[in-house]
Amino acid sequence: MALLNLTIKQLHQKLVDKEVTAVDLVNEVYARVDAVEDKVQAFITLTKETALAQAAALDAKGIDATNVLAGIPIGIKDNIVTKDILTTAASKILTGFEPVYDATVMTKLHEKDMINVGKLNMDEFAMGSTTETSYYAKTANPWDLSRIPGGSSGGSAAAVAAGEVSVALGSDTGGSVRQPAAFCGVVGMKPTYGRVSRFGLIAFASSLDQIGPITRTVEDNALVLEAIAGVDVHDSTSVPQPIADFTTDIHKDIKGMKIAVPKEYLGEGVQAGVKARVLEAIETLKGLGATVDEVSLPHIEYGVAAYYVLASSEASSNLSRFDGVRYGYRSPEAHDLETLYTKTRAEGFGPEVKRRIMLGTFALSSGYYDAYYKKAQQARTMIIEDFKKIFADYDVIVGPTAPTVAFKSGDYAKDPITMYMNDVLTIPSNMAGVPSLSVPCGLSENMPVGLQIIGNQFDEATVYRVGQAFETATNFNELTAEL
């Protein structure tokens, strides 16, 4: 646990100085997993044999002093495909699926000699905000095992918060990296749409999904995003941008920066304790020399409704490929083509996934397309324009990541609408395609609160700079869960 509490740069120096080996770090991961996994249940699959073999080979070759990520263990959300390693998206319908190729982000991590120690639990097909819809297990929040860790990247955030890994990858469609990062007291980034290749990410909503890192510190997060960012010939939605550099200016001060605080982000529905911590964070940013003004994002009130129409519509299309024909689960009761489809999908998908498929299919159906899907796209355009207007005058937008702290497991199991509303503050960033970072900003009810820092498209460097300045001034990232 002591080793995994160190930053990536600190671990790198120990590896270069041969104070520890890559095998030591991997063994530290699995020792911690053995100690806490029965409580947290963050992993679906562990890759101990291959991880130790990779670490031993790396030690034999020698750690590259110029590659800060070499030998660093990382956990991977289970909707990112990994060659020859079970990949389930936490769904029964992908039982036994071992991909024959790696996602682009995995190829990039392998090039950096990072070591995949296992696949992390999630809401089934990333549909949920609690990591309770997983077919395999319900992940617990390390800060309070009776509470949820958030979702859908709850396994990724919980593993980092529990000290099982110091770095994990998640995916964010409507807040699925940032909300669990906030609930678990760690750092989570949703990059600009197109910044990171989605090739090999099992799609939920293709126009919204982005892969992002979860870490303990802002600088660690920036280092990992630098490694996985970039255009990809396999993904037509990835955008050709200059080679990512998020760390050169990360330690510069933020004097003179202009910060916008939307009044809608601190309105009705935000818990008093969450609001208090965020207002204190804003005062800290003022103390660091930034100017702060209240602004308005008038159309985000349509964000949740528009998001669930668009995301569910895309999901109904993306999930049609899971039919029992080519891979994964096949119903033993199927005796012809029609029952193969109907029984496999009925038995293989969980209730939340079925709910969203039906909602999306309805929204796209003849007679309802214009009333729902088209209107949702129009609302999305208005939200994009709201952000453009603010970023014409301001460097970043700040507010709470989530309106509440992590809630008790089972609280929203029979109330999906309330669960959906928990994403009200994160969804707008996905709708607009802008980068958004959650950093710890204190405690309420002895549970972590997240400060959300939103930037203009492809301006992750400024977002990280503000996050780093806040982290350095407060050290809230040093607060850890006690298991």
Q: Per-residue DSSP letters for 245-284?
A: --STTTTS--TT-EEEEEGGGGSTTS-HHHHHHHHHHHHH
Tell which residue, 19, 482, 14, 453, has the closest CA to residue 218.
453
State the Cα–Cα distance between residues 149 and 185, nearest whole angstrom. Answer: 10
State the Cα–Cα distance between residues 141 and 157, nearest whole angstrom. Answer: 9
The active-site residue out of 129, 171, 176, 436 is 176
Would you call 176 a catalytic residue per the annotation? yes
Instruction: Tokens for 462, please give them.
Output: 């400024």
Q: What are phi and psi of 87, to 5 degrees?
A: -130, 115
Burial letters 190-214, b for 16+ CB under 10 A, else e: bbbbbbbbbbbbbbbbebbbbbbbb
Q: What's the angle, vertex CA 413, arms to CA 411 and CA 418, rounded to 5?
A: 75
Alpha helices by DSSP H, listed for 288-369, are 303-318, 337-348, 351-364
Q: Going by C-beta distance under 8 Å and a sequence separation of 6 or more, which residues neighbour residue 163?
A: 1, 4, 5, 32, 36, 480
State CA 343 to chain mean position distance. 32
In the chain, the N- to C-terminal Cα span, in Å, equals: 12
The active-site residue out of 91, 152, 166, 313 is 152
State the Cα–Cα distance between residues 119 and 169, nearest whole angstrom. Answer: 10
State the Cα–Cα distance between residues 272 and 215, nearest whole angstrom. Answer: 27
CB atoms within 10 A of CB 278: 25
- Token pair 């760690």: residue: 186
State the Cα–Cα distance between residues 169 and 199, nearest whole angstrom. Answer: 14
Instruction: Tokens for 240, please give them.
Output: 């050709």
DSSP-derived letter for residue 372 is I
Radius of gyration of the chain from its Cα atoms, rounded to whole angstroms: 21
Q: Which residues are catalytic?
A: 77, 152, 176
